[in-house]
Amino acid sequence: MEKYVIKGGCRLTGEVNISGAKNAAVAIIPATILADSPCRLENLPDISDVKTLTYILESMGAKVEYLDRHTVEIDPRTVDTDTVSADIARRIRASYYFLGALLGRCRKAVVPMPGGCNFGIRPIDQHLKGFAALGCDYSLDNGMISVSAPQDLHGASVYMDVVTVGATMNIMLAAVLADGMTIIENAAKEPHIVDLANFLNSMGANIMGAGTDVIKIRGVKQLRGGAYSIIPDQIEAGTYMAAVAAAGGDVLIQNVIPKHLDCITAKLVEMGVEVEELDDAVRVRRSGPISRTNVKTMPYPGFPTDMQPQIAAVLCLAQGTSVLTEGVWDNRYRYVDEFRRMGAQIQVDGKIAVIEGVESLTGAKVQACDLRAGAAMVIAGLAAQGTTEISCIHHIERGYENLVGKLAGVGADIRTITVPDEDAKSQAG
Ligand code: EPU
């Protein structure tokens, strides 16, 4: 087992480069099976979720060749199944994008019920409602979801009862090769929705309105392959912005789309952090005290739920009391006990966390309970006095490329160590 060890208290200075967006990549990789010729994906993040999805594609018969760490060539012509049987698929939430993609390709899909970070109930009723509107039957047997379109897929109007990223993308995937027009109302508007639409349009799809809450998809007969570069990761960039806010310093965060960061920038500025927007970079500086503020997470363009634990780490060090409201997930405060070990003062009541800022946090042994909570513990460790050891870092490495190298590059004292088996066992208990 590996751990991160952080000696806190170093100001962060220098430059950091942001990788491609995880949540765009995890939909675009399955989408390649809709093409009738090879696809080259560029600016892929080098993270374990991407490796898992390309492994699943290979297990389905696709030819997958990494040209370098960030570029993969996928030939989907040899895919010879409508089933994702790989056990590994259960571990990753995004494996559910194979439902929409296989439906588009084969009119049938059998995919394990997905896993992913545990924030309470993670239903897929809106995905299934969308598939049903397009003419599909579905069933759940032995942990496998089966969806098929006995009379072919046809366009339809689908109204989302909740704003959902996953269902919006899955219905887009199923509808691009359906017969006629599909309209998704109350669609999610996240940057990765737009990126998936741009990728599919580059293959010959006809999708309009992505990035607004009404997406119209006119089905086409076939999609071709081609080359496509994934957008930069909004949440990875936001995580480094929060790290500078917490630890103090002056960092140029490069290869970003500043517009995607507006919701994060606005809150940091309220907290007394300086953020300068450049063409494809943001410069983040903090030397004075951190002011308290309130934050509520919402679908885009609201403050992202995937930045909630990281902003909480900063608010732990603010002057005064801040109120954090989680507006997307039922149970995204599982990390709070770990923060308390570091001296944070947080009370949670349902979806609300009240954070009393403290003068400083202190290093402790903590466990990453999910991807973003783990990133938040890294941020807290960077700002804390003393040494923080973070275990269960596989959660973090699902979604952050070279976190240790990037932070060390801006002056953080962070390294990965391998923990002897006995130590790992006592921690697991
Ligand atoms: N929901 C339903 N029914 C559904 C689908 C969703 O009620 O059929 C509800 C959920 O319970 C939740 C809300 O709708 O309350 C939003 O869920 P959404 O479908 O948007 O989430 P997701 O697609 O499962 C993606 C990201 C998450 C991110 C959310 C919200 C991926 C692989 N995951 O999940 O990212 O938190 O959107 O933005 O794209 C992360 O990267 O750390 C992460 C967890």
Q: What is the pLDDT of residues 107-137, one digit of tens each?
A: 999 999 876 556 566 789 999 999 999 999 9
Which tops the pLDDT comparison, 311 or 92? 311
- Ligand 1 centre from 243 Cα, in Å? 24
Q: With 90 as the cut, is the pLDDT of residue 142 above it?
A: no
- Mutation test residue for ligand 1: of 264, 328, 332, 395, the one with most atoms within 8 Å of CB: 328
Atom 2 of ligand 1 has which residue's CA nearest to it?
123
Give the confidence band of 190 by pLDDT, cuts at 50, 70, 90.
very high
Q: What is the pTM of this model?
A: 0.96
CA distance 196 to 199: 5
- Ligand 1 centre from 96 Cα, in Å? 12
* Ligand 1 atom closest to residue 371's alpha carbon, by position in its atom list: 42
Question: Structure tokens of 63?
Answer: 């030819």
SS3 at position 36: coil
Q: With 80 as the cut, is the pLDDT of residue 1 above it?
A: yes
What is residue 233's predicted lDDT score, i.e. its pLDDT?
98
Of the listed ranges 108-117, 194-203, 413-422, the one predicted with least confidence:
108-117
What is residue 141's predicted lDDT score, i.e. its pLDDT?
87
SS3 at position 101: helix
Sequence-distant (≥ 6) Cβ neighbours of residue 238 within 8 angstroms: 261, 264, 304, 307, 310
Q: Which residues are catalytic?
A: 117
* Ligand 1 atom closest to residue 192's alpha carbon, by position in its atom list: 39
Q: Give the distance from CA 335 to its chain's centroid.
A: 17
Whether residue 54 contacts residue 71, with contact meaning beta carbons closer than 8 Å, is answered with: no
Q: pLDDT for 58-86, tens place per residue?
A: 999 999 999 999 999 999 999 999 999 87
What is residue 116's predicted lDDT score, i.e. its pLDDT?
54
* Ligand 1 atom closest to residue 372's alpha carbon, by position in its atom list: 42
CA distance 91 to 85: 12
Burial annotation 41-61 (CB, 10 A radius, 16+ → b, else e): bebbbbbbbbebbbebbbbbe
- Ligand 1 centre from 110 Cα, in Å? 21
Average pLDDT over residues 17-32: 98
- Ligand 1 centre from 373 Cα, in Å? 16
* Ligand 1 atom closest to residue 125's alpha carbon, by position in its atom list: 8
Give the confidence band of 88 by pLDDT, cuts at 50, 70, 90.
confident
Give the confidence band of 365 by pLDDT, cuts at 50, 70, 90.
very high
Give the confidence band of 429 by pLDDT, cuts at 50, 70, 90.
very low
* Ligand 1 atom closest to residue 117's alpha carbon, by position in its atom list: 44
Average pLDDT over residues 36-57: 96
Which of 189, 186, 187, 177 is closest to 217 using CA atoms? 177
- Ligand 1 centre from 336 Cα, in Å? 21
Q: With 50 as the cut, is the pLDDT of residue 225 above it?
A: yes
Q: Reply yes or no: is the peptide bond before residue 38 cis, omega within 30 of 0.
A: no
- Mutation test residue for ligand 1: of 22, 23, 186, the one with most atoms within 8 Å of CB: 23
Q: With 50 as the cut, is the pLDDT of residue 427 above it?
A: no
Ligand 1 proximal residues by C-beta, below 6 Å: 23, 26, 93-94, 117, 122-127, 162, 164-167, 188, 305-306, 328-329, 371-372, 399
Q: With 80 as the cut, is the pLDDT of residue 424 above it?
A: no
- Ligand 1 centre from 331 Cα, in Å? 12
Atom 36 of ligand 1 has which residue's CA nearest to it?
306
CA distance 417 to 427: 15
Give the confidence band of 428 by pLDDT, cuts at 50, 70, 90.
very low
- Mutation test residue for ligand 1: of 91, 97, 162, the one with most atoms within 8 Å of CB: 162
